[in-house]
Structure 1
Amino acid sequence: MFRIKMVELTAPVGTWASLRAAIDNGADSVYLGVGDLNMRSSSALNFSIKDLPNLVNICHENGVKIYVTLNTVVFDDELEKIDYILDELIKNGVDAVIASDLSVILKAAKRGLPIHISTQANITNIEAIKFYSKWADTVVLSRELTLERIKILSEKIKVLNIRGPNGHLIRLEAFVHGALCMAISGKCYLSLDLEGKSANRGECHQICRRKYKLYNAQTNQELLIDREHIMSTKDLCTLPFIDKLIDCGVSVFKIEGRGRQPEYVALTTRIYKEAIQSVYDDSFSQQKIEKWMEQLNRVYNRGFWEGYYLGKSLGEWTDQEGSSATEVKEYVGFVSNYFNNIGVAEINLDAGILNLNDNIYIIGPTTGVVECVISEMRNNDNNSIQVSDKGIITLKVPKKVRKNDKVYLIKKR
């Protein structure tokens, strides 16, 4: 099938290392939060307003767009803060704001700042798209839609000639990978009800991810169920059918995971970029899908399912606590020097040892994520070794690393 324009891939960013990882692995755009009015504001992985100049410069120098989330519920006493943040986004050249609250949308539109409507707006029909097209060029669709419904929306946008402020047909954006909420488009009140922290204010405490037992209140008998994680959904993975998503008219593919680690951002971005390109060059195949899925399983996931896109009306639930990843990383040391002329890193193993043929990550805020297999290593006396002691070793690396980058051993689970 002939496809005119390649879809945009937008990657989640919560740290400097994740930003570099997204850029190096083919992201067309990144999205992130600054301050405390975004849906990941309680995460330790977040940026501040003062980071904006550097964030924008790094992205634009690499031809990557940057979108900032301001997508929580907003109260009256926060409107001045919204004004300040929006002014800073414009001053620093941010490409768009992701918003759901009308106060943010109206204020951003008044300033001429491009707007993407957040999935928090729960867009499921053409009237909602027409409504938001007054201010937005892109809408992030509800994650509960099927491919069939998305295609209908895409076709109606063309027939009705629904255009955003930039004059182009409004774009549809959809989540393609990552965590799914057990509530509709993330509108969950469990954290607020049980712990006084609102998920709709960026303070989700992951109540749904816990184990539960069910009891009949009248008989006090425990009900038999097939799992204890009765509200914890598996992660979304659309990779096996991204060709269908593209053909439905989705213009932007969004990876979830601003709170996840840099290696997750690196790998998911690379795999989805490869898959998208393969769709356009007609090399997308079952054999490739199987190899990509094996790779995606390496990093954090709760097991995978296709979400609601293929018509399921009920979620698939994970059967274990935490990640189902096939690999884990273990900190072993840090980079103490790098010899640029020979591509060799000096590593201080202060927490573990390494063996020949071990697979390692080297991760840092400027470096991003470097993964390599140790083909040769030398001790402090420059002797070739197969097993290290703690202390200083040197080894060849495929790209530049930097002092104080952290070194991790990748281990099978």
Structure 2
Amino acid sequence: MNKLEVLAPAGDEERFTAAVDYGADAVYLGRKQFGMRSSPMNFDFEQLCRAVETAHARNVKVYLTCNTLPRNNEIPFFERFVKEAVEAKVDALIVADIGLLMLIKKYAPDMEIHISTQTGIVNYVTARELYNMGAKRVVLARELSLDEIAEIRAKTSPDLDIETFVHGAMCVSFSGRCLLSQYLVNRDANRGECAQPCRWGYHLVEEKRPNEFFPVFEDEKGTYILNSKDMCMIEHIDKLAEAGVTSLKIEGRAKSAYYVTVVTNAYKMAVDHYYKDPYNFVLPDWIRDEVYKVSHRKYCNGFFFGTPEESQYYENSGYIRNYDVVAVVESCENGTVYCTQRNRFFAGDTVELLAPSQKPVELVLEKLYDEEGNEIDTANHAMMKFSFKSNLVFPKGTVIRKETT
């Protein structure tokens, strides 16, 4: 039985810490260049070194993205990028371009290489050849079914890792290869700058009939016909394992630290629960419910069970958001929980406390106290310190959230 890796995203140091604290076996992140996400803060060299050192101290791997399709003028900068990755001791580089693959082998012969989903791997022949070229892992295209993944696993070397996205945003185009953003707003999706025009509302008008509107839109706001739902496979960990998947990849380097915290924790708990009884896997409802407590679009299973018939979301392009983070635990001493505020809330509110690998704990915070120990009615100042009484002990970094009304 292969060991399933939970692979979490990190757009900056805060998100990286969330991923490591909440159970990631590996984290993937990017730098200022060559990464498919330009909107997050990403990591400079010093931050990368700190992240790798922290991760390795906790037996967590770090994979660095260089999966854009670079132009000629970027190639001279790639040697330094690779050599700094070696110096920082990252565990692998994620690459989509065959030319960059060859340069990695030249500049860093011992570096582990993962082939990005941007490469569009959909068959065992391609996976074999990339393995023969030096790849340790292939990140398969999102458009594959479990049966197709199983065939790739059966017809490739057992030393080749298979990684697939299991949670997060899906692209209307094939594995993210899209020119729509570049065409409309001159932001190249293949260089990490996608403006997500697939999430916009559209109307259809035939050019010779300017006053005739065709019934392709859902309401007066237009149609979101390009807008896909989010992927969620947390209830199917057993099927992913049976298909031979090595690594379960969570999308979201541009998402919040809270998103990384909750989703990473949920998938880690789901994997742990799977290993308790692999042949009778039934996910507890409370673990499944965790992925609904982050900002998300409606969920679907992507292409894993064949061509999805209900993978598009036509109502709007917005997210569903039912919970807000109101505080984070700093320490617990002598029956008192010390916290830092994140959003306003009040004494008497019912909240949930989420600690790594634990079922959320619901509490009514009957009384709140400021730093001097004075009772207060509300925690309404950004990043203010406060406390409450509890016989329960929570680790540093425990998230306190409140359901929105």
TM-score higher than 0.5 here? yes
- In structure 1, how many angstroms separate the alpha carbons of the residues matched to 2:251 and 2:386? 37
Mean CA deviation greater in 49-58 or 64-73? 49-58
Deviation at 1:372, TM superposition (A): 7.7
Structure 2 residue aligned with 1:190 = 180
Mean CA deviation greater in 317-326 or 78-87? 317-326
Q: Select 1:119's aligned residue among 99, 107, 117.
A: 117
Q: Select 2:255's aligned residue among 248, 254, 260.
A: 260
Structure 1 residue aligned with 2:198 = 208
Deviation at 1:216, TM superposition (A): 2.5
Deviation at 1:215, TM superposition (A): 1.9
- Structure 1 counterpart of 2:155, one-letter code: K
Deviation at 1:5, TM superposition (A): 2.3
- In structure 1, how many angstroms separate the alpha carbons of the residues matched to 2:193 and 2:184? 12
- How has the CA–CA distance of structure 1 residues 395 and 293 changed in structure 2, closer, same or farther, with 3 Å as cutoff? same
Deviation at 1:262, TM superposition (A): 1.0
Deviations 1:109-159 (A, max 9, x none): 2212110000000001111112211210100001000111111111111xx
- In structure 1, how many angstroms separate the alpha carbons of the residues matched to 2:267 and 2:341? 34
Provide TM-score, normalisation by structure 2. Answer: 0.86
Structure 2 residue aligned with 1:85 = 81
- Structure 2 counterpart of 1:90, one-letter code: V
- Structure 1 counterpart of 2:230, one-letter code: D
Deviation at 1:249, TM superposition (A): 0.7
Provide TM-score, normalisation by structure 1. Answer: 0.84
Residue 299 (structure 1) aligned with residue 290 (structure 2) = no
Q: Select 2:60's aligned residue among 57, 64, 71.
A: 64
Mean CA deviation greater in 16-25 or 53-62? 16-25
SS of 1:216's partner is coil
- In structure 2, how many angstroms separate the alpha carbons of the residues matched to 1:276 and 1:394? 34
- In structure 1, how many angstroms separate the alpha carbons of the residues matched to 2:370 and 2:23? 36
Deviation at 1:325, TM superposition (A): 2.8
Structure 1 residue aligned with 2:338 = 345
Deviation at 1:392, TM superposition (A): 6.2
- For the 8 Å contact 2:346–2:379, the answer to whether it is kept is yes
Structure 2 residue aligned with 1:165 = none
- How has the CA–CA distance of structure 1 residues 240 and 409 changed in structure 2, closer, same or farther, with 3 Å as cutoff? closer
- Structure 2 counterpart of 1:212, one-letter code: Y
- How has the CA–CA distance of structure 1 residues 177 and 362 changed in structure 2, closer, same or farther, with 3 Å as cutoff? closer
TM-align CA RMSD: 3.0
Structure 2 residue aligned with 1:144 = 143
Mean CA deviation greater in 87-96 or 319-328? 319-328
- For the 8 Å contact 2:269–2:287, the answer to whether it is kept is no
- How has the CA–CA distance of structure 1 residues 299 and 91 changed in structure 2, closer, same or farther, with 3 Å as cutoff? same
Deviations 1:239-296 (A, max 9, x none): 1222111101111110100000111111111111111122222178786353333221
- For the 8 Å contact 2:332–2:395, the answer to whether it is kept is no
Structure 2 residue aligned with 1:366 = none
Structure 2 residue aligned with 1:359 = 351
- How has the CA–CA distance of structure 1 residues 347 and 253 changed in structure 2, closer, same or farther, with 3 Å as cutoff? closer
- How has the CA–CA distance of structure 1 residues 392 and 72 changed in structure 2, closer, same or farther, with 3 Å as cutoff? closer
- Structure 1 counterpart of 2:373, one-letter code: N
Structure 1 residue aligned with 2:404 = 412
- For the 8 Å contact 2:181–2:197, the answer to whether it is kept is yes
- For the 8 Å contact 1:6–1:280, the answer to whether it is kept is no
SS of 2:143's partner is coil
Percent identity for Structure 1 against Structure 2: 30
- For the 8 Å contact 1:362–1:401, the answer to whether it is kept is no
- How has the CA–CA distance of structure 1 residues 234 and 16 changed in structure 2, closer, same or farther, with 3 Å as cutoff? same
SS of 1:73's partner is coil
Q: Select 1:328's aligned residue among 324, 333, 344.
A: 324
Matched residues, number: 386
- For the 8 Å contact 2:13–2:47, the answer to whether it is kept is no
- Structure 1 counterpart of 2:179, one-letter code: Y
SS of 2:155's partner is helix
Structure 1 residue aligned with 2:91 = 95
Q: Select 2:241's aligned residue among 239, 246, 265.
A: 246
- In structure 2, how many angstroms separate the alpha carbons of the residues matched to 1:312 and 1:202? 27
- For the 8 Å contact 1:340–1:400, the answer to whether it is kept is no
Deviation at 1:223, TM superposition (A): 2.0
Residue 21 (structure 1) aligned with residue 18 (structure 2) = yes
Residue 394 (structure 1) aligned with residue 394 (structure 2) = no
- For the 8 Å contact 2:336–2:387, the answer to whether it is kept is no
SS of 1:222's partner is coil
Structure 1 residue aligned with 2:369 = 378
Deviation at 1:100, TM superposition (A): 0.6
- How has the CA–CA distance of structure 1 residues 408 and 295 changed in structure 2, closer, same or farther, with 3 Å as cutoff? closer
- Structure 2 counterpart of 1:395, one-letter code: F
- In structure 2, how many angstroms separate the alpha carbons of the residues matched to 1:362 and 1:6? 26
- In structure 1, how many angstroms separate the alpha carbons of the residues matched to 2:95 and 2:226? 27
- For the 8 Å contact 1:119–1:140, the answer to whether it is kept is yes
- How has the CA–CA distance of structure 1 residues 388 and 131 changed in structure 2, closer, same or farther, with 3 Å as cutoff? closer
- For the 8 Å contact 1:100–1:117, the answer to whether it is kept is yes
- In structure 1, how many angstroms separate the alpha carbons of the residues matched to 2:280 and 2:207? 52
- In structure 2, how many angstroms separate the alpha carbons of the residues matched to 1:99 and 1:293? 32
Q: Give the unaligned 5+ runs of structure 2.
A: none
- In structure 2, how many angstroms separate the alpha carbons of the residues matched to 1:29 and 1:10? 5
- In structure 1, how many angstroms separate the alpha carbons of the residues matched to 2:234 and 2:397? 31
Structure 2 residue aligned with 1:74 = 70
- Structure 2 counterpart of 1:271, one-letter code: A
- Structure 2 counterpart of 1:185, one-letter code: S
